[in-house]
Structures are given as structure tokens and as C-alpha cells.
Structure 1
């Protein structure tokens, strides 16, 4: 193509050149003038070889050929030198014309415009207008426009797009959808200038991250900003939003922010008296730092306050930092820091620290007080993929005893106000699989909030070696020998701990106040089979302790003196045991006709076990674990006091007395197989386990028999098992006279009196949950209705199914939090007739606990029966849920304290899921009285901006009469 060749020589792109509405290309050059032709020649850097060959191409336009003919007539010498001189002079003479052409190109369309339409396309050459009908599509550079009807004005670079209205239904369809880069706009009518990239839009609808913007009239700037009039901003994705912010004026910078003028909140089409003069919403796809606006209020004890205001630092994509502060008009203040960190496939965690300086009352008055408190929370989790052999985890929750009382957020919170203990731990573990050794260390802290007592262990180091067989051959040949079954393991424990008050912890002495020590345990065991039916297990256990001090005691005539001696002291003990057990089976086949012949067989499994245990008397003087000193009281009585210098040490001291005991244990299991009405065998557990255990110490001189411990376990239903334990004392009470304190006899047992023993007590907890579905199934069974399940008989109660339903609460509602959005919330289900079926799922759980034990008050001892009376301790708890409809949920919990004879903690809450908003209200009735009301947006971008919280303060809680 000649034109392409000329463009290449002139340095002009070979793509079609558009001058307003006239198109120039190599194949269809319709309009061209001699000025343009001369300007092309003037831009040539080299002279063509032949003038005729340059213009002999017939595809060139008529105007271009006329210009070539005129040039040829004016030229007398057609050699290369004369042509070059002519072209140079022509370029100088026509430079002004060339500048004019370039200016026309700059104000025109710079690249091709692609367009298409499904229905028809009409082009008016005289006016430079193009009309596209039916699912039209226009694309220019990075701009893409789709609409039912599009009108193009090529002379002015304007495009106008509208939808169409259905002739039958009258509904509008095919509305314009305009996309430029990452921004997408939907509207009813749109006018846009391709060149200036400015536009005017009616009824615009665009999405910005989690938010949606609409407006009646909008203007788009050249940089993509939108100027809105009578706009709406919402995070609701419904066509008719549940809520929105009505914006009188707004400016939107896509991907950056929305700045608006006067605005007010509208919920469910009801304008609320919540308005602001101006505001903005930031939009960012990456972390960004910024200020956090505080909340305000008043608290009677400390005055007006500004709290939870500060600054957020976006340190990186893996870590952030939030600094907050609070200040009160009466002098109280506080600061806090919170940080989250995460490294993918390695670890994640969070940290929170808070310090408070609380001032109550007026200075120089008796009620004035000033307290400081702090709180530290740290949570760290290591990803399992990071290191399969080493793990580090932390769960720290430490606060001074006065922190929750001074913290406004925690006041009257049932979880914090009733919390009596706090636990913290940091642990690290690693393993060496090649030798089967594992090492772990922890730091533990237990805090009692009632009396500010702290029990701290740091560090607590454990070293263990898994079981191994030291005498086992590496290459097994023949049968296994008896000594190859001997196994042993090792456990080492080092600990350093203290128990003190929280104000004395930092002033304690590591040597004098802390308790430390080291313990080693080496168990050796082996199992054998004797006579093919008896399992025999022998074991030997050795325990060694190492302490750094011991306390020696003496009597100076009036008081006991204690002297701490520092050094390394070794305390060890050992014991051995031998146990034998077997299983005996018994079967009973009932006679024919018994219970209709449905019982096939009853099986009884009896498991007896006998064990022998031996340990020497480590209180003997040769061990040195026990010492004595002589005490002379004020009356001159001389007694010998026995004590152990290691009795207060970390791992204690071996017990006194020789042990040579025989322990007995038996366990019974009773099961039955029977046919149901479908002639299928079913296994029924009659007694899952019934057992008893007791021991006799042959080395004890007094009371060699232990108490009798019994247990029973019954599987009443598929999901409920009844467990009961009871202990019967072996020795009777004795008393020298009426009024004397009873004591246990040293030799007389209840068996000698023909009794099984003295029942000492038991404890049992029962719980059950009922719901509307369980009640429905029970009534269906009572009416004889057949269950849909194939494996159920028509007259058989569906007890398994009834008890398998633990709760009928909507799981989405139960899990919903302020930032969660429930799918299809607020949409009621309808039946085939279009009516909403009545449904109100509910569930109520009951819990009852009872403890029976001896009341060992001496004044209540019965000298006729020689027994203490029994004391009962009971507690009753109840909780429930009611789902009134989709989105409505009520929950409550309460109980009764039988000992204090009053209602225990009672709470009730009401929550409403409004699709995009969440409303919740909770009330504490007993023993504290408080309330909490929250109404906030679910979207994460607005959860801190659009919210309303109201709760009772420390001194303005509601009073119930």
C-alpha cells in the first residue's frame, strides 16, 4: 500500500488516521488535499528513486493523484537532485499548513473507535452522527460502554447512551453500563466526551469496595472523580437498601474516599434524627494510617470523658499498631496499645496492653482515692506447616485486681465481673525424633482476682524419652525372649515457682522466696501372658528429687525456730508392683416364649484384677528424710515432734510407712441382643459398667483396709449416659463419751457388724434440652404416627432421634456477630400458596446438680447411730432460646441457689438481624443490675462509624424494685 509506505517514511503511524469524521487509510482514502500530500512529502528524509514509480499506484485517492500530476508538470528536471531541492523548498513553504494539520489531529480522536449493535446502525455523513440500536457496544481505548441505544457525535467526540422502555410492561431495560479502567458506573442516561473524559450521568449506581453509591445527578471529571447531587451511600446490596446515608452533596474519588456535605441516616425508609454537617469515608485496598475518633459520655464518679480515641499505624501488611487514650474531667486517664501480626505459613498473633490511672472523689476529702492498674494480653499461634518439630504458643491474660473495676467497658459485664481467676501460659516444645526425646518448657501464671494472689511458675521444663526396649535385639531371630519385653522410659522435670500477692511479686527474692527443684522419674515395666488367659504386668518405678535448700527446725524453749540451709540435697524413693487380670464371659439364653421370644441372648463380662504393691518405709533414719526435735511446753510437758526438712519443697517428700498392699478391682458389663419388630438384631446395653475397688495394706498396723469405691455407668439413651460414683467407709466412728469428738476406729470395721460400710456421699449432674421438634416427635409417637426413617418401627418411639436434637436455634443467628452478614436475612419463607407458615423454633435446657456428703459438724453427730448426718448441696440452671421469626432471636439464662435461697445470675438478650444492621439488647437482672443496647452497621468499613451503644455505668445502673 502506497499510503502505508508514505506513512512509514514520514514517521506517521500506519493505523487509520481520523480527522474529525473523515477517515484516512491505505485502502479507502476518500478525502485528501494537496496540502496534506505535500506535508507528507516534506517530512521525507530520503528522496525516492523514481518520481513516476512513487505516484503510479492506482490505489491512491483522486486528490492525491491530481497533486502528483501538478507536481510533475511543474518539474522540468526529474533527476534525484532536483526533486530533493523541490521537496525541501516545498516543506519550507508549506510549514504553516503542516502545523495546521497537526493541530487538527490533536483535537480529534486519537485511536480507533470500535462499535457494534445487534439491531441496526445508522450513519449520517453530513452531520457526523452515528446511531446504534439494540444491545449496542462502543469501545475506545480503556473506555467500554454498553447500552440499548447509543448516539455518537464524531465531530464533537460525544457519546449519548440511554436505555429503552418495554412497550408492554413499560419497564426500562438495557440501561447504560460504563466502565473505564477499574471503575464501573450504571445509570439511566449518560453523556460522555471521549476526548475530555468528562460526562454527565443521571441516576448513577457504582460500587466502591463494600459500599454502593447512587445519585440523581452526577458529573464525572477528567480524572475520574464524581460530583453527586442528592446521593445515597449504603453497604446494603439490595436494590432497595435497608439503610443509607442521604448525601445532599458529595465528591467521590474512586478507590480513595468519599467526601460529603450535610448528611443524615435513613433506616427502613425512615429518616432518623442523626445528621452530620460533613464527613468522609476512606477507600483503600491497602493498610493506611489515620486518626481514630473518640467517643464521649459521662460517668458520675469520674466525670465527663473522651475515650477510645487515638491513631492507627499501618506499619506493614504483616503488622499494625493502634494507640488509644482516654481522659476524664476529674483527673482519670488511661492509654492502651493493640497490635496484630501475621506471617503466612509461619505464625500469627495479637498483643494488647493498657494502663489506667483512676481518680475518684475530690482531693483533700475522705472519699478521694487514686489507683493505678494495667492489663496485658498476648496471643501467639504457630502454623503447623512452619516447623513440624518445634512449636511456640502463648496465651497471656494478666490484669491487676483493680483493672476491671476501673475499666468502663468491663463494668457490669457478667463475664468479667464474675471472673475470679485468670490463667496465662507461654510454652515452647521441640522434639528429636532420632532418639525419641522431646523437650518442652512453659511459663504459667494463675491469678486470683478476689484476694490478688498470684501463683507463678517460670520456667517449667520437661524432658522426656519415649518408651524403648533396652534388651531387644536389633535383628530378631526366633521367638521373642522374656527379657526383650522389658521397656523403660524417662521423664525429667525442672521447675521454679512462687505464690505471693501481686504487689509483692516484683520485690521477691529468687533464692529465698521462690521454690525450685528437679525431679527424675524412670519407670520400668514388662507384660507377659501366663497360662494363655492371665495377663501379668510387672513394673518398677524410681523417682529422684534434687532440692537447693532444706529447713531445719528446733525449739528454743518458747517458740519454734527455723533455719534454712542452702545446698544440693537428693531425695529419692521407689516402688514395685505386680498386677494380674483376665476376662470371664457368661451367656444366658432365655427360654422360648420369654418376652415373646424376642431376646436372643444375654452376655455378662466379668473382669477381675489383682495387684500387689510394695514400697519401703522412707521415714527410716537411714534415709534422713524425717527429723525430730524435743518440745517442752509451758506446763513442762516434753514431746518429740517429727517433721521433714523437705516437706515444703516443690515436689514434696516420700510418704511415711511401709507399703505392702493388695488391691482388688472388679468390673461387670451386661448386654442383651434382641429382635425388633422388623426381625433385625439390636444390641442393648443393660449395664455398661458396674465396678468396685478396694485394697488391703499388709504393712499397716492400724486401719489396713481402704474405703470401698463403687461406680456404675448406664447408657439410658443414645446421647445420654448416667455415671454415678459412691464411696463406703470401712471403719466405724468411736467416741469415749457423749460430747466427745468422734474418731475413726483403728481396727473395727462395718463388716464385723454385718454392714457393707458407711455411705460417704455422691454427686450427680443431670441436664436435658427440650425443643419444639422434640415435643412434636413425642406427640407423633403418642398418636402412633410412623416415622419416615426406614429403620424405625411404626410403634417404636423415636427416642434416639428425640435426644439427638440438642438445639433448634438458628445456627446463623447464633453465630452472627456485629461484622457478620447472614445470607437472605429478613426474607420469610412461604408455602406453595404464598403464605408465610407459622414457625417459632425454641429450646430450653435444664441442668440440675446435687451433692450428698457427710456434714462433719461435731454438734450434729448422732451418738445413737454413731454417724454424721448427710448434707445436700443443690444447684439448678436453666437457659433457652426463642426465634420469633427470621432475624429475631431471644435468649435467656438463670438459675437458683439453694444454699443462699435466691436467684442466681439472670441474663436476657434480644437480637435483631436487619440484614445490613444488627440490633442487640441485653439485661442483667441478678446479682448485678445493668443493661446494654447496641445498634450498628454490619459492614466492616462502617461498623465503627454507624453505631449507637448505650450501657449502664458504674453508678447509674438501673434499679429494680
Structure 2
């Protein structure tokens, strides 16, 4: 008998299990931070319960295990025999890899096929990304459970968060089935576009459908929202809609006694058709009204349209049709067709109501430059009745807009030499009497300067004649001017005139003569006219009579010139070591040219008496009032001169330490004068002197100014006489006949948060939108005023913008009896400041010094309420005075859920 130790199955199972666990975990990292595939090691690659059968007995199998079939040649047979076996996947295998990680530990329970991740656990499966403090994965049940934990102070750590497709979800507990894509969560918050949905329990029954019990819907992104809609049950279709049972609103957790039998909330993103709710208004002139009632219709991916209407109890109404279209990388545009039937209480005791029918058409179109290289097309149309803007309600900026402008332009370029531009322009002055000017079509053809004698292949230095350049500029225009009250087809034809202008510049580039640049040139111009304009003094009526003669007329002009230019630099650096200024630099750029122009326009001028005294005469041209105007009469043989200056300084900067702390600033951007002297003229040899000045003081104050200086005296009626102003015993450089100056500046406080200010600036700079037209800017400004709280920047405690302009000119009186000086002066002011960190107040005003009155004044007060906004807009001065109070959510989905009170009245 052999005595040996008995080995039982229980004693052998422990080492076998340890070895198996070692083999399974040998490839894992110590910190468990790397993402690892889950499923292969636990399920095995094949079914090991059945032995593999070798089709070649007593032979060594050299086939790799990863092959399903292989071919080998037997030593005793030339036949090819296949070694095949089936690979069967386990029923509990996953159909995609699972990546998981944890910062603390990973526990793997092999018998129950569970993996538990602790601390900052993360699991990624298909499009699901789940993070939590702890996650348990059960492969047998295909279930994932995520939970949080609390620290010693009771704070939540690692609240489960899941992102799947377009759905984001936070919950206290998440239970998810990887096979059926179903799950249940507790105390859940999920984001659906701008909406936030909270539910005590939410059950997911499909990838896009959810049911919630005891839920709330809000647009406030706080865990405890400022406002919400509470419901006992709800169904959601992700990114589409949410339908609830009985629902009621609550504010700050306090229920509002307003109950609805059901609720419907759209969650879809992008464009979708629907009704546009109106706004209730009340006015002493218009009566009670509903404004903005309409419908938005999406026709296709490229086209949509908005239909709106305003209805008032006194019988007035307005309708608006606004289609818009867009195609990426091709074009985009919008149109607005508006019609107003106005009926307001009259200030005239003879009639009860004042009625008017007005219309307006606006169109904006832009073509992407990448659509057709070498071709561009743009349109900006704004036309309509002269009284239209006066009857637009609740828009003080538009009520004082008296000019309407339109432009449609098409251009095509051939290579780098030829360019064709066709345009149609419209200008309308709505002051009484309203004048309409239309230019259509205008055609411009340009040939850029080319060198006909230059060699195609340059070898050696160029000859002087090879630098001879020739160009061409041709403009053809058609103009119609008519008063609105006379608008008719016959009047249009009668006032229509056309004209053309051709210019052929010839230039020659000569080598520099040291610091001097020499530029000779020849210019030939020709103009075509469709009418002559003749003035005659009527001795019977003692007034000027005018007559028009239609036909085809031409005029020509020729000039020769030789120009010299250079630049002179000066610097002053003798400042003390403690002076904030280190250097001042002055650059002078004088220009001088000699030119000759024969008198080819003498036949186009005549002398006519202009008053009843018979002593005052004036030279007129037959082509005054034409599109391109007449050429100047008289021959010119003389000089033209000019002097341009700019001044810069280098200062020591305490903040900017780059370049040794030295910063360059501009003191004066430019100032100087231009003029000429004609040696061949029999009188008035010295031309008027053009003066200009421009500067940006302290990098804050922008100043531009200009004036014309006439060096000759005038008689008692204001007509020039051939005598210099400085003759006669007193020195005078001359008379300023017209001038202008504009000053603007803006100030604002330092941002409270520089990071937020930088992000806002970057967002604005990176917004690659096409430039807005003036009308679009006006509409955006109006929207900003109506929703001031939405645009109020509380990060800037205060800001102030000021601009002032002044201009004057001397013109003929209407009866030609002399001259009169007309001035125009106005100032605009706008700004805002924070009353408190959450209250902001602002204003915008326009003051006309000619009338000594404020033409427009508006002010607003806004309140930052996190997810809500409050704004109060008041216009106490203007054609239409308004008061508007609005409180509504910031979210675009619930913006029409607002409290609004608007009052306005029209001042005639």
C-alpha cells in the first residue's frame, strides 16, 4: 500500500482561482487610469466547454488560434486539407467595447461578472459618457448603476452625469441597461436646448423618449430655479417637445394659482413654423391695439417668411410681410414689405380723425465672394412714402429719419485690368416737399493702367518710354428727379436726363531726382450731356426765367502736368530724463506741380444779369444742374501746391513695458492746405485755399475739420471782386466761405471682470457675419432699446458717447439777389451707468442747435434678474412719445410669456 495525501476538489479550487485572476489582471495599470476594453477577458474568445477537433490525427497543429480556417500540405499526401473550427460568442457579450477608468480603485468580481469603479469613475459605451463617484457594471444583466457619496460635511461628491447624443442629464441615481437602452433615474436634471427639466423620477423607454413623475420645466439654470412650471407627470421626446398633465407656474417656490389642464413645450432646435403672439398696447391717438400678431412659416431649408399685423380700435392697421432667404457659401438676404392704414385722432377741430395710407419696401441682399470669383452683387433698398416713418409706433429713432437711400450694385472683373460696375441708386428726402432722386442705370467701365510699350519679358533695365502708362475711366448715368406730389409717368419722362463722362489718364514714371519724386502726366476728359440749361433775366417781371433745351451735347477738357513731391523729417529729443515725453517727430510732405489747361469750355459759359440794378452779373454754364456738371472755364497755366503735416510723439508708459517702456502716440494725424495759382487768368488768379485738420487726441477724442478760404473781397451784395482780401490797409487772409467740424469721443469705466470683457470682444471679432446695412443697424438699435435689459452690460459700470458736428456754407439766395450763409449744428449724447450691480440706467438724445430744441430723447432702466429681464423705456420727446414696461424670461422659447404695458401718443 502506498500512503499518499488525499487532494480534494475544494483544496484545488483556491489556487486555480488565484491563477485565473492573475492572468486576467496582469495587463492592467496600477493606477487604473488608462481606458481598457471590457468584455473580452470575462467572456472568453470561444466556448471552452467543447474540445477542439483536429481534422488531421496524430499531427501537430501549427495553426494560429486566431484563424477560423487554414490550409496545410500533408507530408504523405499532395491534397490540401482545411483545418476549420467555429467561434461562438457568449450570449452576454457586449456589441461594442466599454472604456472605463477610476482614480481610486477598480474591483472585479469574476464569478458574478461585475466591475465596480470607485472615485471619479468614468464609463464610455458607444455614444454614452457617464461619470460619477462610483459606477457598478453588471455584465450578466447588461446594467450600469451610478451613484454619488457625501463627505463628512454632508456635501455631495461625484453626482452622476451622463451625456448621450444631444441629451445631458444629472441625477442622484442612474440605472441604465446597455442592451435595451432603457433606464431610470432619481432626482434628475436634464437639459433640452434652452429648457431644463427636473423630475423626481425619470424613466427612459427609448433613445429619445422619457417619462417623468413630479417634474418641473424651467429656463433657469439653477438647481433651485427662480421660476418653473410644475406638473405631476410628463412625457418628453428629446430635442422635439414635452407634453405634461395638469400644470401650474411657481415663482421662488411659491405656487401661482393659475392651473392649466395640460402643457406643451417645444424643445426642437433651429427654425420651425408657428404663431407669433401679439403685444397689447394703448394709445390716446391710435386707441387700443394688438401689435405683432402673426405667423412664422418655414418653407424649406433656404426660405422662410414672417407675416405680422397691427390692429387698433380706432380703425387703423398695418401689415408686414418679411421673407428671408439664405444659401451657405452662395448668398443671403431679406425683404420687408409694409403697408400702413393710419387712423388717429386729429388735433383739428374740423375733423375727428386723420387718415393716411403709407408703404415701405426694404430689401437687403449679399452674395458670398466665394460663390463666383470675379463677380459681386449686393442690394440695399429702402424706399416708400415720405410720411411712413412718422407713423411708425414705438420707434423714436425712425420717427426722425427723413432720408431714405437705396443701392443695387453688380460688378465683374476680367483679370487684373478690366472692371465693369452697374448700379441703381435711390435717394429720397422726406422733408416738405418730398424730393425723390433716382439714378438708374449707372454704368462704370475701368481699364487699369497698363504699359503698352513695356516688353513682355524684361531683360536688363527698363527704357524710359516703357514706363508710359495709360488708363480709362468711363461713367454713364441716367437720373430722374421728381417731387412725390407730382409722381407720374409723364413727369418721370420729362425730368429724365442722362450723361456720360470719359477720362483717359496718361502717366510716366521717371527715376527719382535724389529726394524728389517726379511725376509727369496728361489727362483728357470728355462729357456728354442730354440737355442745356439757360437762364434769362426778365425785365418785365424782374426775375430770372429758365428754359431747358434737350439734345446731344459734348464738352472736352485737356490738361498737362509735372508734379514734384518729397518728405522732410524733423525730430526733437532734448527732453529731461524725468520728462514723460522722450521725442517729438514732425513729418512734412510738400507737393508742387506745374500744369497747363487750355480753355476748351469757353463756349459753354455766358454772362447774365442777376438783379434789377443792372450792375451785378454772374457767369453761368449751360450744363449747370446736369449729372456730371460743367468743366471749369478759362485756361490754366500755373502751379498747384500743397503741404501735409503729421506730428507724433514717444512717451514713457508705466503700464506697457514692451520696447523699453516707450510708446508711440499720434498727436496730429494730418493738417495742411492745397491751392493753385493761374498765371494765364485775367482775374482771380489765386484759387481758393482748401484747409483740413484731423487728429485723435489722447486716443479718445476724434476731430476732423475742413474749410475753404477765398482770398478775394466781395461787394455789398456778396459777389467777388478782383481784389485780394489783404489789400486796403488791413491784413486778412481771406474769407471762409464754407467749413465743417466734427468731434466725437467715448468713455467707459474699467470692466469689473477683464476675462469676461475679453471673451465678449473675441466673440464679437470671431462672428463672421456680413456687414449690416444702415437700415439693419437702425432696426437692431430699435430692438436693443426695446429689450435694453437683454443687452445691458453690467460688467461695464458706466459708459458715455458724445458727438458734435457743425457745418456752414454760402449759397445763392432763391431769387439770385445775393448770398446767404446756412448753418447746421447738432449734438448727440448716449450713455448708461449702473445704479446698483443689478440696475442699469441709460439715455440717448439728439439736440438740434438750429431749432434750439431736443429732437429726440429716450431713456431706459433695466434690471438683471438672472433668468428674467425687466426693462422700462420712456420717450418723452419726439414725434411719438412712448412708455413701455416689459418683464419676460430671457430664453427665446418663453420670451413671449411676458408682462407688457405700452402707452404712446402721436404729436402732430
Q: TM-score, length-normalised on structure 1?
A: 0.66
Distance of aligned partners of 1:728 and 1:527 in 2 relative to their CA distance in 1, 3 Å threshold: same
Task: Tell me how far 1:216 sits from its aligned partner.
Answer: 2.9
> 2:465 aligns to what SS in structure 1?
helix
Residue 791 of structure 1 is matched in structure 2 by none
Residue 683 of structure 2 is matched in structure 1 by 702
Distance of aligned partners of 1:727 and 1:450 in 2 relative to their CA distance in 1, 3 Å threshold: closer
Residue 768 of structure 2 is matched in structure 1 by none
Task: Tell me how far 1:131 sits from its aligned partner.
Answer: 12
> 2:874 aligns to what SS in structure 1?
strand
- Distance (whole Å) between structure 2 residues aligned to residue 221 and residue 682 of structure 1: 66
- Distance (whole Å) between structure 1 residues aligned to residue 49 and residue 221 of structure 2: 51
The 5 A counterparts of 1:346-365 are 346-360=330-344
**C-alpha contact 2:584 2:649 (8 A) present in aligned 1:** yes
- Distance (whole Å) between structure 2 residues aligned to residue 333 and residue 722 of structure 1: 46
Task: Tell me how far 1:581 sits from its aligned partner.
Answer: 4.0
Equivalent position to 1:932, from 884, 898, 908: 884
Higher percent of residues as strand: 2
Structure 1: any 5+ residue segments left out of the alignment?
A: 1-24, 30-108, 736-740, 777-804, 827-838, 858-867
**C-alpha contact 1:916 1:937 (8 A) present in aligned 2:** yes
> Is the counterpart of residue 321 in structure 1 residue 297 in structure 2?
no
Distance of aligned partners of 1:931 and 1:291 in 2 relative to their CA distance in 1, 3 Å threshold: closer
Task: Tell me how far 1:524 sits from its aligned partner.
Answer: 1.8
Distance of aligned partners of 1:540 and 1:319 in 2 relative to their CA distance in 1, 3 Å threshold: same
The 5 A counterparts of 1:790-805 are none
Task: Tell me how far 1:359 sits from its aligned partner.
Answer: 3.4
**C-alpha contact 1:808 1:843 (8 A) present in aligned 2:** no
> 2:601 aligns to what SS in structure 1?
coil
Q: Which range is displaced more, 640-649 or 415-424?
A: 640-649
Residue 545 of structure 1 is matched in structure 2 by 527
- Distance (whole Å) between structure 1 residues aligned to residue 289 and residue 107 of structure 2: 67
Q: Which range is displaced more, 485-494 or 467-476?
A: 467-476
Equivalent position to 2:602, from 603, 616, 619: 619
The 5 A counterparts of 1:719-730 are 728-730=709-711
Alpha-carbon displacement from aligned partner over 1:126-169 (angstroms, at most 9, x marks no partner): xxx99989799999999999985879999xx9989684654744
**C-alpha contact 2:788 2:862 (8 A) present in aligned 1:** no
Distance of aligned partners of 1:848 and 1:273 in 2 relative to their CA distance in 1, 3 Å threshold: farther
Q: Which range is displaced more, 673-682 or 162-171?
A: 673-682
> Is the counterpart of residue 469 in structure 1 residue 451 in structure 2?
yes
Q: Which range is displaced more, 447-456 or 758-767?
A: 758-767
Task: Tell me how far 1:246 sits from its aligned partner.
Answer: 2.8
Residue 222 of structure 2 is matched in structure 1 by 238
Residue 187 of structure 2 is matched in structure 1 by 203
> Is the counterpart of residue 450 in structure 1 residue 421 in structure 2?
no
Residue 713 of structure 2 is matched in structure 1 by 732
The 5 A counterparts of 1:736-755 are 741=717, 743-747=719-723, 749-751=725-727, 753=729, 755=731
- Distance (whole Å) between structure 1 residues aligned to residue 787 and residue 852 of structure 2: 41
**C-alpha contact 1:630 1:639 (8 A) present in aligned 2:** yes
Residue 782 of structure 1 is matched in structure 2 by none
Equivalent position to 2:381, from 374, 391, 396: 396
- Distance (whole Å) between structure 1 residues aligned to residue 184 and residue 157 of structure 2: 20
- Distance (whole Å) between structure 1 residues aligned to residue 187 and residue 576 of structure 2: 85
- Distance (whole Å) between structure 2 residues aligned to residue 754 and residue 823 of structure 1: 60
**C-alpha contact 1:825 1:915 (8 A) present in aligned 2:** no
- Distance (whole Å) between structure 2 residues aligned to residue 358 and residue 534 of structure 1: 68
> Is the counterpart of residue 386 in structure 1 residue 371 in structure 2?
yes
The 5 A counterparts of 1:54-453 are 163=147, 166=150, 168-171=152-155, 186-188=170-172, 202-217=186-201, 225-269=209-253, 278-285=262-269, 287-360=271-344, 366-408=351-393, 411=394, 413-433=395-415, 436-451=417-432, 452-453=434-435
Distance of aligned partners of 1:938 and 1:840 in 2 relative to their CA distance in 1, 3 Å threshold: closer
Aligned-residue CA RMSD in angstroms?
A: 5.7
- Distance (whole Å) between structure 1 residues aligned to residue 174 and residue 757 of structure 2: 52
Residue 919 of structure 1 is matched in structure 2 by 870
Structure 2: any 5+ residue segments left out of the alignment?
A: 1-45, 51-89, 765-782, 814-818
Distance of aligned partners of 1:133 and 1:872 in 2 relative to their CA distance in 1, 3 Å threshold: closer
Alpha-carbon displacement from aligned partner over 1:813-849 (angstroms, at most 9, x marks no partner): 99897999999999xxxxxxxxxxxx98434455555
Residue 6 of structure 1 is matched in structure 2 by none
What is the number of equivalent residue pairs in this alignment?
778
Distance of aligned partners of 1:467 and 1:755 in 2 relative to their CA distance in 1, 3 Å threshold: same
Task: Tell me how far 1:427 sits from its aligned partner.
Answer: 0.9
> 1:391 aligns to what SS in structure 2?
strand
- Distance (whole Å) between structure 1 residues aligned to residue 611 and residue 156 of structure 2: 109
- Distance (whole Å) between structure 2 residues aligned to residue 162 and residue 681 of structure 1: 60
Task: Tell me how far 1:573 sits from its aligned partner.
Answer: 2.7
Q: Which range is displaced more, 653-662 or 170-179?
A: 170-179
- Distance (whole Å) between structure 1 residues aligned to residue 611 and residue 810 of structure 2: 37
**C-alpha contact 1:847 1:876 (8 A) present in aligned 2:** yes
Alpha-carbon displacement from aligned partner over 1:910-954 (angstroms, at most 9, x marks no partner): 3334343333333334346433333333333333x3334433323
Task: Tell me how far 1:213 sits from its aligned partner.
Answer: 0.9
Distance of aligned partners of 1:392 and 1:209 in 2 relative to their CA distance in 1, 3 Å threshold: same
Task: Tell me how far 1:577 sits from its aligned partner.
Answer: 3.0
Residue 880 of structure 1 is matched in structure 2 by 831
Distance of aligned partners of 1:264 and 1:458 in 2 relative to their CA distance in 1, 3 Å threshold: farther
> Is the counterpart of residue 609 in structure 1 residue 592 in structure 2?
yes
Equivalent position to 2:498, from 510, 516, 521: 516
- Distance (whole Å) between structure 2 residues aligned to residue 142 and residue 773 of structure 1: 45
Residue 652 of structure 1 is matched in structure 2 by 629
Residue 27 of structure 2 is matched in structure 1 by none
Q: Which range is displaced more, 207-216 or 304-313?
A: 304-313
> 2:390 aligns to what SS in structure 1?
helix
Bigger CA radius of gyration: 1
Alpha-carbon displacement from aligned partner over 1:104-125 (angstroms, at most 9, x marks no partner): xxxxx9976899995586999x
Equivalent position to 1:842, from 798, 819, 823: 798
- Distance (whole Å) between structure 2 residues aligned to residue 162 and residue 594 of structure 1: 70
- Distance (whole Å) between structure 2 residues aligned to residue 270 and residue 422 of structure 1: 52
Distance of aligned partners of 1:325 and 1:855 in 2 relative to their CA distance in 1, 3 Å threshold: closer
**C-alpha contact 1:819 1:938 (8 A) present in aligned 2:** no
Alpha-carbon displacement from aligned partner over 1:538-573 (angstroms, at most 9, x marks no partner): 332222223345567899997999876655433333
- Distance (whole Å) between structure 2 residues aligned to residue 379 and residue 132 of structure 1: 61
Task: Tell me how far 1:438 sits from its aligned partner.
Answer: 0.2
- Distance (whole Å) between structure 2 residues aligned to residue 526 and residue 153 of structure 1: 87
> 1:946 aligns to what SS in structure 2?
coil
Residue 87 of structure 1 is matched in structure 2 by none
Task: Tell me how far 1:488 sits from its aligned partner.
Answer: 1.8
- Distance (whole Å) between structure 2 residues aligned to residue 224 and residue 535 of structure 1: 75
Equivalent position to 1:953, from 866, 880, 904: 904
> 2:526 aligns to what SS in structure 1?
strand
Task: Tell me how far 1:523 sits from its aligned partner.
Answer: 1.6
The 5 A counterparts of 1:766-845 are 766-769=743-746, 841-845=797-801
Residue 71 of structure 1 is matched in structure 2 by none
> 2:555 aligns to what SS in structure 1?
strand
> Is the counterpart of residue 491 in structure 1 residue 473 in structure 2?
yes
> 1:654 aligns to what SS in structure 2?
coil
Residue 663 of structure 1 is matched in structure 2 by 640
Distance of aligned partners of 1:690 and 1:327 in 2 relative to their CA distance in 1, 3 Å threshold: closer
Alpha-carbon displacement from aligned partner over 1:168-197 (angstroms, at most 9, x marks no partner): 444566767788987665544678999999
**C-alpha contact 1:557 1:632 (8 A) present in aligned 2:** no
**C-alpha contact 2:701 2:744 (8 A) present in aligned 1:** no
Distance of aligned partners of 1:825 and 1:460 in 2 relative to their CA distance in 1, 3 Å threshold: closer
